[in-house]
Amino acid sequence: RLCEKGVAAYMLDGDKLRRGLCGDLGFSDDDRIENIRRAAEVAGLFRDAGLVTPCTFISPFAAV
């Protein structure tokens, strides 16, 4: 919808990141934390490029 209104946007999906950029990670606590860290880095890069970046991630940790 954002793109339809002329807003530069990209939906960053956690499942897609898991299959690609984070494909080397498992589901240990450390790997889950690294997965979210990488996702945050990518979202930040998109933001810096001027895109609105809605994100869909699940983290089992309240602190993350």
Per annotation, catalytic residue among 37, 47, 59, 60: 59
Mind listing the pLDDT tens digit for each residue in 10-39? 899 999 999 999 999 999 999 999 999 999
* Predicted pLDDT at 64: 61
Taking residues 36-51, report their average pLDDT.
94
Average pLDDT, the chain: 89
* Predicted pLDDT at 60: 77
28 counts as catalytic: no
Burial class (CB in 10 A: 0-12, 13-18, 19+), 22: buried
* Predicted pLDDT at 4: 80
Q: Are 12 and 43 in contact (CB under 8 A)?
A: yes
Taking residues 40-47, report their average pLDDT.
94
| CA max distance for the chain | 40
